Structures are given as C-alpha cells and as structure tokens.
C-alpha cells in the first residue's frame, strides 16, 4: 500500500514537471519568435466570455481595456476574438495594416445576405473583391451625380432626397393634426427607404404599400435579433435551435434578397443603354458593355444583384437610424434646435436646402457630427478577420482570427474629446464659427480603410438635406410631461427607445412668413 501511494505521487509529480516544461518551452518559443498572444479575461468552457459581455458589449470592452490594454483577446463561444480599442491601434489595424485585417470571418448571421457574396460581408478578399467594390463605387458616384430633371437640383440624388423630405414634412403635419403627438420612426424609415429605392430602382413606394412595408418590418425584426455576439456565430450547435435570434437573419435576408433580385432581373430584361434609369441600369451598362476592355464586363447578373444589395443596405439603415436619433436629440436639447433654426433663417432663408448649403450651415453640420460621435449608433465595425499572420501592438494575431474594432471607444476617448459624454456640437467649430474639418475626421462611424462604408458621401448629403429641410419648415417639440431616454437598445445598429413628438409650422420672424 505504501509503495503504491509513493508511485502515485511520483506519477503526479512527473506530470506536473512535464506540464511546466511544456509551458516553459512554449513561452521560450514565443519569445524566440518575438511575439505573444494578446492578454484577456479567462474564458469559461464552451461559452467562453459570452456571459461577461453584458447588455452593451462596447462598454464592457472599454472596461476591459483599462485592465488589458488597447488590444486584448476574448473568446466568444469557441471562437477567439481580438478586440481593438484606442484611435492609434484602430487606425493601424484599419489603415496602415489594412490589408492584414481586410478579411471577414465566416459568420452565420451574415451568410444569408446576398447569399454570402456581398461586398460588405464577403469572406473572400482579393482582386475579384477589389474589382467588385470599384464598380460599385463608380456606379454609385456617377449616378448619384447624374443630371436631375429639375433645374433646381444639382443631381438626381438631390432630386430624390428633396422629393422625399417634402413628402415627410406633409406626413408629419398630417399626423400632428390628426393625433397631436406621434412616433416619427415609421415615416422616417419609409422616407429613407424610398430614397434608396428611387436611387437603385428608379421608383418610390407609397408608405402603405404591402411589399414595401413587409421589407421594412422584416428589417426591424432582424435588427432586434442581431448583435455583435449572436451565439449562432460562435457556437455552431445553436444554429439548429428554433430561436428568433437564430432564424431572424435568415428570414430577413431571404425576403430582402428576393425583393432586390426581382427588381434587378426586371431591369436586366428592360435595359436600354440609351436610357439609364438608376444605379441598377448603370451597373448593367458597365457589366454588359460588349466594347469594355476591362474585367468589369465579366461580372455576372448575380454579382450585379449582390452589388445592389450592398448599395441598398448601405443607404438604408444608417440614414434612418441617424434621423431617428437626431429628432430625439432635437427635442431633448431644444436650445440646439433653436440655434439651427436661426442659422437656417440667416443663411438660406426660404430657399430649399441643397447639398451645396452644407458649407453655409456650419452649426447644422456640427450638430450632425456630434450626433454621430455622441450616439455612435454603430458601436463596432462589422467583424474583420486577419488575412495573414500579423502583429498588432506587439501581439501575434494568427491568420483568420476574428477582430472587433471598437468605434464607440474612439468616439468617447477622453484623450481625444473633452467631456466626451457631454453633447456639444460646438466642439466641431473653430474660433470663427466655421466647421473644423480636422476634428470631424476624428469621428469614427462609417469605418475606415479598405472596408469603409461605400455610401458615406451619399449618406452625409442625404442626412443634411433631411435635417435642414425639416427644421426650416417645422419646430419639433417634446410632449408635455414626457420622459425622454437617450439610452440605446443594443444591436447591430443601435436604436433609440420609442418616443413621441409634436410639430408646428415655423414662422420666419424677420420675413413674417409661416411655412404651411
């Protein structure tokens, strides 16, 4: 008995010795390779650090940064994820070393969008992807600047936007006269979706069109069910469970894909090279030009559909989310709304706002940028992944590692922004009251580098005309006694809590004119 006990202790000692030697050799190997893995919290088996993320993961990442630094490692389920904070590290990962982090991880949530072949979510980064994006950017840029039918608009995009914002003002007035107060979410979403439909398909929908409303409703359901840590993306067995958080993305993308596919196929059938109606026609023209000498002519009809999916998605959710947030802030901070009213009256008066007026309304532009910064309603970039073995902040990042870039942290970094939690549009103005572009460039909302949102310029122009036009004609007011909540509901795109407002026509006192 005594001999057996000694033997067991010797065996345990031997195993411990081997384990220590193994760890030492591995650490020595890492030292010789001059790299090591990022630090991070200890993960639980199977679920990893999923339960530690809380309701607002981007805030949890900011707290983890205090302990582990700008670059740290967590596990979501069985998947290692590197989280990047800090403006310097984010810029290095997205700009300086952008090629090294230009990939996308294979994620269940996004695999249904454009059948997994979209520009935004495609896991295949390479020459074909670059060509695809170049075509999309050229088509978006050329058609959004195409000559408008109206002599008062500089482009067809501007024409579409002004038509929709005019309709939105009418809807707001109608709702206000019938109900007194109303939730602006649905009218805003319909107006923005119509701009995208007009741009992509050359048509707009009635706000009560069943097919149109079905796509919008499914989009809402998808966003409610989606976030940066969907368990189906990181624990494969979850993909087979009958849960809404698992099935909502599949249902939404199926309906959206079918909606867009039908329109694109109709365009291909009725295409006339002498009459380009919209961006879809522009893409068909580029890809079907028999005289083209570039590889663009080899793109398939399916790739055209995928490109339209990207443009549709890029122009829809960001703008509608922004406008909902901005109207909430305008009634929460009425003094800010008053300043925008005064600026509009003094600088453009009764003239309908146009894209070119952005330079004439610096405070309005400052307000827009402060909404982007303060809300950061897209808190994390769409997940990236390493295209090759690489180093970031001295840590080794293996190829195919999933990477989250925390844009919210950059936009609330105390070393960059004074009183970052305070809403102050004036922070974007210089001593002469002009927009300080160097400060604007510090705001991170559309991403940056290779995977940057391709619709930023379109979105900024559209947002400006919506805000300036609405506030030129209407005064937005909080409902008496209402409690407004600026806390976001977390998701892929963070939405504001539901709220009601009232509107009344504005009076330009210096001209004694009422907008009716």
One DSSP character per residue, 286-307 reads HHH-TT--SGGGG--HHHHHHH
Q: How far is CA 80 from CA 5, 72, 246, 271, 407, in A?
A: 41, 10, 21, 47, 20
On whether the CB atoms of residues 124 and 114 are closer than 8 A, the answer is no
Query: Left if phi > 0, otherwise alpha if psi is -120 to 50, otherwise beta: which for 478?
Result: beta
What is the pairing mode between strands 395-397 and 384-385? unpaired
Radius of gyration, alpha carbons of the chain:
26
Comparing C-alpha atoms, which of 128, 144, 120, 188 is closest to residue 470? 188
Q: CB within 8 A of 463, min separation 6: which ones?
A: 319, 322, 323, 326, 368
Distance between CA atoms of residues 313 and 253, nearest Å: 11
On whether the CB atoms of residues 44 and 76 are closer than 8 A, the answer is no
DSSP state of 103: B
Distance between CA atoms of residues 302 and 322, nearest Å: 31
Buried b (16+ CB within 10 A) or exposed e, 262-291: ebbeebbeeeeeeebbbbbbbbbbbbbeee
Distance between CA atoms of residues 344 and 360, nearest Å: 9
One DSSP character per residue, 39-97 reads P-PPPBTTTBTGGGS-S-HHHHHHHHHHHH-SEEEEEETTEEEEEE-SHHHHHIIIIIT
User: Binding site residues for heme, as ranges?
Assistant: 453
User: Binding site residues, as ranges?
Assistant: 453
Q: Reduced to 3 states, what is the DSSP secondary structure of residue 503?
A: strand
Phi, psi of 466 (to 5 degrees): -60, -50
Phi, psi of 476 (to 5 degrees): -95, 135
């Amino acid at each position: 008995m005594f001999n057996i006990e000694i033997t067991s202790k010797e065996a345990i000692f031997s195993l411990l010795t081997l384990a220590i030697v193994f760890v030492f050799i591995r650490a020595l190997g890492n030292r010789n390779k001059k790299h090591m893995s990022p630090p991070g919290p200890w993960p639980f088996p199977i679920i990893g650090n999923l339960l530690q993320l809380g309701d607002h993961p981007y805030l949890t990442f900011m707290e983890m940064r205090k302990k582990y630094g700008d670059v740290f490692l967590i596990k979501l389920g069985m998947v290692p994820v590197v989280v990047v904070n800090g403006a310097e590290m984010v810029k290095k990962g997205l700009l300086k070393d952008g090629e090294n982090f230009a990939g996308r991880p294979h994620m269940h949530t996004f695999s249904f969008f454009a059948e997994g072949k979209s520009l935004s979510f495609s896991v295949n980064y390479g020459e074909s992807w670059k060509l695809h994006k170049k075509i999309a950017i050229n088509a978006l840029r050329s058609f959004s600047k195409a000559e408008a039918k109206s002599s008062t608009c500089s482009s067809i995009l501007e024409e579409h936007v002004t038509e929709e914002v005019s309709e939105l003002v009418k809807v707001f007035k109608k709702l206000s006269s019938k109900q007194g107060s109303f939730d602006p979410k649905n009218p805003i979403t319909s107006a923005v979706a119509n701009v995208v439909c007009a741009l992509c398909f050359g048509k707009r929908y009635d706000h009560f069109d069943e097919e149109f409303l079905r796509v919008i409703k499914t989009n809402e359901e998808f966003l409610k069910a989606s976030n940066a840590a969907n368990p189906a993306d990181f624990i494969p067995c979850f993909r087979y469970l009958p849960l809404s958080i698992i099935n909502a993305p599949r249902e939404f993308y199926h309906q959206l894909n079918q909606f867009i596919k039908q329109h694109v196929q109709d365009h291909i059938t009725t295409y006339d090279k002498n009459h380009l109606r919209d961006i879809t026609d522009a893409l068909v023209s580029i890809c079907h030009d028999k005289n083209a000498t570039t590889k663009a002519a080899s793109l398939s009809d399916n790739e055209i559909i995928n490109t339209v999916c990207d443009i549709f998605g890029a122009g829809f959710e960001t703008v509608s989310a922004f406008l909902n947030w901005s109207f909430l802030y305008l009634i929460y901070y009425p003094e800010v709304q008053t300043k925008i009213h005064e600026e509009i009256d003094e600088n453009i008066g009764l003239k309908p706002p146009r894209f070119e007026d952005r330079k004439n309304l610096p405070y309005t532009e400052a307000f827009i940028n402060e909404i982007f910064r303060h809300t950061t309603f897209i808190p994390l970039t769409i997940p990236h992944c390493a295209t090759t073995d690489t180093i970031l902040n001295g840590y080794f990042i293996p190829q195919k590692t999933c990477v989250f870039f925390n844009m919210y942290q950059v936009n609330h970094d105390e070393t960059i922004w004074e009183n970052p939690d305070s809403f102050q549009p004036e922070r974007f103005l210089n001593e002469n009251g002009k927009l300080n572009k160097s400060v604007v460039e510090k705001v991170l909302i559309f991403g940056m580098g290779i995977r940057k949102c391709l619709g930023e310029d379109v979105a900024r122009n559209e947002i400006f005309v919506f805000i300036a036009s609405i506030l030129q004609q209407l005064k937005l007011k909080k409902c008496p006694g209402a409690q407004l909540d600026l806390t976001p509901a977390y998701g892929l795109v963070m939405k504001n809590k539901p709220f009601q407002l009232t509107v009344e026509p504005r009076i330009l006192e210096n001209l004694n004119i009422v907008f009716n």
